[in-house]
């Protein structure tokens, strides 16, 4: 998917969202004490819901709720603890916003319960390869899937795009075997997830358009990642401008969905990128052949 090509992402509970013609923001809501950027800020249901509604008012179309930190070396929580954190937030949001709700989990049971509570999308940071039953749950419920590439717990191929293809093709095979329709799937190359150096992440950015080979919408999740700090010298909380810059650049390379902490600054950057793409499309339409 590149430029302004439109596609419909079909998700749970009979909902859908258009991708491609205007960039879509997925707001990060971490209901955790230890996430790398905002751990502890939104631990309570009320705080998480307030932040989610603020994100929607600033331009988010999707709210991504997570109950376990996925930063390197983060402590693992039990499934019951994860569910106790996220399910009340999803239930509270369901009746208060028309934004789509995503559950950030690699656990099939958490995904199932979250969808029952009102979630429309499962965002799996292990790309269906830790608990493949998530694919079965999507097939049965119609939930959308964010399938993310990761290099964790395995040996990667040297070439960054070859490794993306190697991993994501296996994930797509798992989805297909479970009967998940391709119009339920978005792919995420997983910036920062066992991408060991800033150079590796920057090469992935530079070659992002090569992922269009899958013919599926692409999600970019660079928000406040360490490689942005390496480039800019800024600590975590000072990386929102750099995040917005990467969002705009990746939009020009075909990304459709952007998972971010600071919605407002990314919405502005993406509105400019969208306007430029529209202008280019209009120019191409009018140009004499």
Instruction: Identify the CA nearest to 112 among candidates 142, 79, 137.
Output: 137
Q: What is the DSSP secondary structure assignment for residue 74, as one 8-state letter?
A: P
**Six token digits for residue 113:** 């319960």
Instruction: Identify the CA nearest to 15 among candidates 110, 97, 106.
Output: 97
Please name the residue that has the structure tokens 């307030």: 50
DSSP element (H, E) containing 136: helix 133-141
Give the span between the Cα atoms of 67 and 222, in whole angstroms. Answer: 19
**Six token digits for residue 242:** 């750099």
DSSP element (H, E) containing 246: helix 240-252
Q: Which residues contact 155 (CB under 8 A, 6 or more apart)?
A: none
Tell me the catalytic residues: 225, 259
Give the span between the Cα atoms of 224 and 164, in whole angstroms. Answer: 22
């Amino acid at each position: 998917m590149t430029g302004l090509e439109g596609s419909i992402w079909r998700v749970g509970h009979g909902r859908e969202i258009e991708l491609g013609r205007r960039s879509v923001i997925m707001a990060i809501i971490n209901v955790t004490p230890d996430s790398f950027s905002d751990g502890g800020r939104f631990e309570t249901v009320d705080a998480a819901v307030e932040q989610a509604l603020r994100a929607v008012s600033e331009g988010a179309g999707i709210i991504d709720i997570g109950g376990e930190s996925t930063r390197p070396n983060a402590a693992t929580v039990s499934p019951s603890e994860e569910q106790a954190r996220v399910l009340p937030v999803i239930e509270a949001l369901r009746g208060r916003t028309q934004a789509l709700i995503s559950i950030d989990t690699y656990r099939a049971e958490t995904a199932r319960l979250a969808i029952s509570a009102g979630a429309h999308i499962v965002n799996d940071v292990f790309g269906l390869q830790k608990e493949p039953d998530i694919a079965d749950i999507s097939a049965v419920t119609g939930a959308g899937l964010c399938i993310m590439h990761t290099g964790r717990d395995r040996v990667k191929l040297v070439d960054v795009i070859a490794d993306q293809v190697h991993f994501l093709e296996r994930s797509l095979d798992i989805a297909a075997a479970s009967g998940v329709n391709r119009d339920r799937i978005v792919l995420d190359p997983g910036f920062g997830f066992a991408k060991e150096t800033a150079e590796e992440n920057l090469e992935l950015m530079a070659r992002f358009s090569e992922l269009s080979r899958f013919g599926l919408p692409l999600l970019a999740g660079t928000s406040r990642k360490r490689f942005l700090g390496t480039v800019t010298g800024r600590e975590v909380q000072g990386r929102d401008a750099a995040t917005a810059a990467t969002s705009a650049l990746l939009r020009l390379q075909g990304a459709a969905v952007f998972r971010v902490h600071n919605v407002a600054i990314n919405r502005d950057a993406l509105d400019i990128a969208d306007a430029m793409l529209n202008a280019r499309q209009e120019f191409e339409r009018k140009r004499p052949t």
